[in-house]
Structure formats: C-alpha cells, structure tokens
Amino acid sequence: MIMYHSTRGGSPPVPFDQAVLQGFAGDGGLFVPHPVPQLSRAQLEQWKSLDYVALAREVMSCYIDPEIVPKRDLERLLAASLAPFEQADPPLVSPGQDGRQWIMELFHGPTLSFKDVAMGFLIELMDYFLEKLDDRLSLILATTGDTGPAAAYAVAGKKRICCWPLYPAGMISREQELQMTTIGAGNVCPVEVQDCRNGGDDLDVVVARLFGNEQLKKRLKLSSVNSINIGRVLMQTVHYFYAYFRTVERLGDPLVFSIPAGAFGNLCGGELARLMGLPIEFICATNKNGTQHRIFADGIFEKSPLQQSLSSAIDIVIPYNFWRFLYFRCSGDTALVNKAVTEFEHFGTVQFDDILHSKLRQGVVSTSISDEQTLESIANIFEQTGYLLDPHGAVAVAGAEQCRPGFAEHTPCVSVATAHPAKFPRVIKKALPTGRSLPESAFHHSIEEAKKADTKVLICTYDELELLLVEKIDASLKHLSPGL
C-alpha cells in the first residue's frame, strides 16, 4: 500500500485519506507518496490512447488504494469533478503548425485556470471522506488569484465544507476577484485583505500560524487546499501523461514542458510523472520575481522582496512546494530536507552544495521573464498566428523560446497555458497595439455574467485577519450541515 510520508520525516506515514484531510503533515512537512509507483513500458502502451478521464482514473488508481476509495467511487468522483469543464481533454494546439512547439490549454474548467483541473477532484474527495467520517471541514486558503476562484466554485453548496479564500487587495485582477465574490453560496466567504506588502506570501504566513496552533486547528476543523495538499499535486500529474502521449512520435522519445512556476505545485506534478517513468524534462519559467529561477541557476533558495508583475498569479517569493521537489531530488533524504527547511526558516536563504545543485538542475532549465518579454510574447504570437495567450501562458512560451537551445535539437516542447486570457484583459490590452479592440478570444461569457452579478466579500486589514477568521469560522461551524 502506498503511504504518505512527511518531507521532514518527523511524523508517522499516513494513508491517502488522512494525507488529503490533514493538508500538512503533523511535523509541518508536506506529504509525499512512498514508494512512487513505477510504470512498465507495457502499461504506458496501454495508456497511450486513453482520453483524459480514463487516463486520470488509471493514474490516480496508482496512488489511491481501492480499500480507501473503491474503483467505482473513484470513477464517480472524477466524473463529477470534470463535469463542469467545457471539455475534459485539454486541447494541445500548435499555433506555428510546426509540430514541435505545442501549447497545452489547461483553462477550460469552470473558473478558467489550470487550478480547476485538480481542485474539483480534491473537493469531491474531501466531501466523500467527510461523509464517511460524519465530519466537516473549514478550508482557509491564500490565493494569488486562481486557487481562490477554483476552490470557491468547487466548494459552493457542499454541506460539510466551508471555504475562506483570502486575497491581497489590489494584487489580483478584477475578473479573478469577481469569480470569488459573485459565487453566491453561503458556505464560501471570500476575504479581501488590505496592506499585504508581500502579496499572497503574507497571507500564507497567517494561514501557517493558524495551522501551527494544534488546539485551534482542531476546534476550527482547519484544512487547506493550496497545492500543499498532496491530492492536488497527484491530480496534476495526469496532464503530463496526456500531453506526452499526444505529442511524441514514439514512446520513449523525450519531451520538454515549459511551466509558468509559482508555488511549484504544477512542477511537482510533472516531477512525479517523470519519476513514474515518463522521459520528460522541464523549463521552469518565472517572472521578474525569479526565486524559482535562482534555485536552478545558482543553487540558492532565497526569499526576496515581492515585485508586482503582469503575471500576477506567479508573484510568489516562497514556492512552498519546493520542499517536495527537493525531497524527490535527494532520494527522500528527510534529514537533508529538514535541515534545509530549518535553515530557510532561520535565515531566509539556503545555499545548496555543488552535488545537490546538480541533482536539482538535472533535466531542468530555468529562466526569469520580464514584464516586457511577457507583453512581447503575447503580441508576437498574436500577430504571427492569431492565437491569444494569457500572461502566464506567455511566460511559458517566452521561457520555451529562450531555453530551447538547452535541449536536444528536435525535442518537442509543450508550453503549459495555465489561464484563459479573459481573466487578464488589462494585460492583453497593454500587449496589443494601441487603439486595437480586444479580439473575441479575450472574452469569456462566464466573466461577462459575473460582472452583472451581486458580490459578497469581507474586507479587513492584514492585522485584523487572524482574529476575524477565528471568530467567523467558529460561528460558521454552527451552521454547517445540521446533525454533524
């Protein structure tokens, strides 16, 4: 049976359901599957023509024991989570038509970002486990703009779960904000937080503090659905398999993914797919904040002051999933991970030695894309092909162009388009020639509808946040699912 271990090695392994419900491990580490399932070539052959839903069932069956979620229930939960998608199979497009540069569109879910892909499934799973336990949960999550809407949509109407998406005022797009504030469900309470100098990272500090108080965590029934939750990361392995089977000529051929990296959840999904046996490599594309880039380029993990960028959803200076990535790259050496975490917590920086640095960068090239390059990428692709990227997809495509020389000449590359351009009309306007009206592909009917809907949001300052949450969550638990 696959068990879920802490990256810090200080708490006992737990089965999948507990890992999902707890979020963080007891010692503050992140859960990782052990052992990572290994796929045979025959298995990959069998999987290669499956559609996305069938592939998701196969991949997730490798991680979820049938005693915990029987196969029939797993299929039902997957189907329910993917039902609101415009299309479950993520489109792979090649605007230049050269068959080597691909874009994988992961934004056809209900809130138009790749977060929908895993969030819906995670919430279905949580609800399933809670029903069995006859229990309930309060989800607090800090968002840089896309996790919040995805969670709000997935949780809306669930009787056993309440959700508190926290977002930094003025640091997400108006469209992302509307996706949360117009959800119109009693069990979803978005909170706009003022004075966050470090954006979403500031909010993560409050969340971590609440989670660090065991008594409070128990009383408020706290859990999280940020990508610290292993359920999200596992589900994010599926699209790597899907894209691989659709773009390589022969099984065993190499493939590169260019990923717009924030907290590293998506990259960790790719890393797990690689560990399972896919011959894939990565371009880690970040914006001007660049913490993630410096890990691979210089072997340093260092917190630097946040700079607001045009690709705001990846304005992250502490990519917290990095500890998972480190765990995988050092072959599960929890003492090493623990030492690095402790050092980072004390000094805000960790310098890796040459051996570890070379393990971290094996099959990974990284880059930091400026706002000007992001705008250029949107403008050039649109001008040349009529295809419209959002700023995060543009970071991935610009990263792919810049880093491709680091890979074998004919290796195809899939840039991961993580959000729909309709979520960022102001950036798109800036990128396209002045005076040009926005193309049809810059709009989405769901956003237009949200602009007309009523909004509901709590507003507080950063200093008030912790107390406000405790008070409101205490009160909300009294109203959740009668009889619990």
Ligand X SMILES: Cc1ncc(COP(=O)(O)O)c(C=O)c1O
Tell me: does residue 191 bind ligand X (CB under 6 A).
no
Instruction: Find the catalytic residue in 115, 221, 288, 423.
Output: 115
DSSP class per residue in 394-443: HHHHHHHHHHGGGS-TT--EEEEE-B-GGG-HHHHHHHSPTTPPPPGGG-
Q: Which of 263, 398, 400, 427 binds ligand X (CB under 6 A)?
A: 263
Binding flags for ligand X, 407-446, as an x/- string (CB under 6 A): -----------xx---------------------------
Tell me the number of residues near ligand X by CB under 6 A: 19
136/274 with CB nearer ligand X: 274
Q: Which of 8, 324, 329, 392 binds ligand X (CB under 6 A)?
A: 392
20/419 with CB nearer ligand X: 419
Query: Which region among 123-131, 164-172, 254-262, 434-442 touches ligand X (by CB under 6 A)?
Result: 254-262
Name the nearest CA neighbour of 404 among 241, 271, 281.
281
Identify the DSSP state of 461: E
Exposure string (b/e) for 394-419, b if CB count within 10 Å is 16 or more? bbbbbbbbbbbeebeeebbbbbbbbb
Q: Do the beta carbons of residue 30 and residue 321 sit within 8 Å?
A: yes
Torsion sign across C-alpha atoms 446, 451, 456, 462:
positive
Q: Do the beta carbons of residue 168 and residue 193 sit within 8 Å?
A: yes
CB of 307 to ligand X, least distance (A): 16
Hey, which residues between 291 and 320 contact ligand X (CB under 6 A)? Answer: 313-314
For residue 307, the number of C-alpha atoms closer than 13 Å in the C-beta half-sphere is: 13
Three-state DSSP state, 243 = helix
What residues does 190 pair with on adjacent strands? Answer: none
Read off φ and ψ for residue 175, nearest 5 degrees: -65, -40
176/247 with CB nearer ligand X: 176
Q: Which of 55, 261, 356, 381 binds ligand X (CB under 6 A)?
A: 261
Strands 255-260 and 413-417: parallel
Hey, which residues between 145 and 174 contact ligand X (CB under 6 A)? Answer: 145-146
Three-state DSSP state, 234 = helix
Task: Provide the edge-to-edge strand list for the sheet that holds 137-142.
Answer: 222-223, 137-142, 161-168, 191-194, 458-461
Tell me: does residue 221 bind ligand X (CB under 6 A).
no
Strands 413-417 and 161-168: unpaired
206/261 with CB nearer ligand X: 261
Q: Which of 22, 144, 286, 338 binds ligand X (CB under 6 A)?
A: 144
Q: Which of 23, 149, 231, 262 binds ligand X (CB under 6 A)?
A: 262
Q: Token pair of 148, please?
A: 């919040």
Tell me: does residue 260 bind ligand X (CB under 6 A).
yes
446/476 with CB nearer ligand X: 446
CB of 397 to ligand X, least distance (A): 13
Q: Which of 265, 270, 412, 421 binds ligand X (CB under 6 A)?
A: 265
Hey, which residues between 24 and 63 contact ligand X (CB under 6 A)? Answer: none
CB of 417 to ligand X, least distance (A): 9
Query: Which region among 247-255, 258-266, 336-344, 447-455 touches ligand X (by CB under 6 A)?
Result: 258-266
CB of 145 to ligand X, least distance (A): 6
**CA–CA dist 483, 368 (Å, integer):** 52
Q: Where are the alpha helices (DSSP H) in 105-237?
A: 115-133, 147-155, 174-181, 200-212, 214-220, 230-235
115/288 with CB nearer ligand X: 115
227/476 with CB nearer ligand X: 227
115 assigned to active site: yes
Q: Where are the alpha helices (DSSP H) in 300-350?
A: 322-329, 334-347
Query: Which region among 257-265, 271-279, 294-302, 426-434 touches ligand X (by CB under 6 A)?
Result: 257-265
Tell me: does residue 283 bind ligand X (CB under 6 A).
no
Binding flags for ligand X, 110-129, as an x/- string (CB under 6 A): ---x-x--------------
**CA–CA dist 329, 411 (Å, integer):** 23
Q: Which of 227, 237, 287, 289 binds ligand X (CB under 6 A)?
A: 227
**CA–CA dist 199, 140 (Å, integer):** 16
160/232 with CB nearer ligand X: 232
The residues of the shown chain that bind ligand X, judged by CB under 6 A, are 113, 115, 144-146, 227, 260-267, 313-314, 392, 418-419
- Active-site residues, by number, are 115
